[in-house]
């Protein structure tokens, strides 16, 4: 019974078709940093682009984890006060 429920749920979400794939691939090719190993930049297979997108998002998540760990360590060690936060804020604005 759970199989039937999960399958009907899958059919309710429209699966991606070829036009959407082309659109997606063109968008992603602009965003993802170009790999050095990419031989022919014009005709990259769609599945490769999708794969690289997954890898890229995964690496970004890992970087966020790593950076948040370092930030939490630095937060403990440094003696920051609100004045320093104001300085940082002024640097960004």
Partner 1 sequence: MSSASQQPTSINPIHLKNQFALRFVRALNTIKNQKGSAHDTQMHCRSRRVKIAAYTAMASVVGSRRSWSRAVLWKIRNRSRNQDLLRNKIMTNHHRRRRHAKLCMKRRNRNSIREDVYLNPFRYSVQESKLRKMVPGGRNMDSWCLGDEIADYIKCLAAQVEVMQTLVDLYTVT
| CB distance 53 to 74 below 8 Å | no
Dist CA 31 CA 9 (whole Å): 31
> Does residue 34 bind partner 1 (CB under 8 A)?
no
Q: Which is nearer to partner 1, 41 or 45 (CB)?
A: 45
Q: How far is the CB of 45 from partner 1 (least distance, A)?
A: 10
> Does residue 44 bind partner 1 (CB under 8 A)?
no
Dist CA 5 CA 16 (whole Å): 21
Q: How far is the CB of 44 from partner 1 (least distance, A)?
A: 14
Question: Which of 7, 34, 35, 38 contacts partner 1 by CB under 8 A?
Answer: 7
Q: How far is the CB of 93 from partner 1 (least distance, A)?
A: 6
Exposed, middle or buried by CB within 10 Å (0-12, 13-18, 19+), for 28? middle
């Amino acid at each position: 019974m759970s199989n039937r429920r999960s399958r009907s749920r899958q059919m309710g979400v429209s699966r991606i078709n070829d036009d959407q794939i082309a659109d997606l691939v063109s968008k992603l090719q602009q965003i993802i940093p170009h790999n050095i190993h990419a031989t022919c930049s014009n005709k990259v297979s769609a599945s490769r682009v999708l794969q690289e997108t997954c890898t890229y998002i995964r690496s970004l998540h890992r970087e966020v984890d790593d950076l948040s760990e370092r930030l939490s360590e630095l937060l403990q060690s440094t003696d920051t006060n609100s004045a320093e936060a104001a300085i940082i804020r002024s640097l960004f604005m």
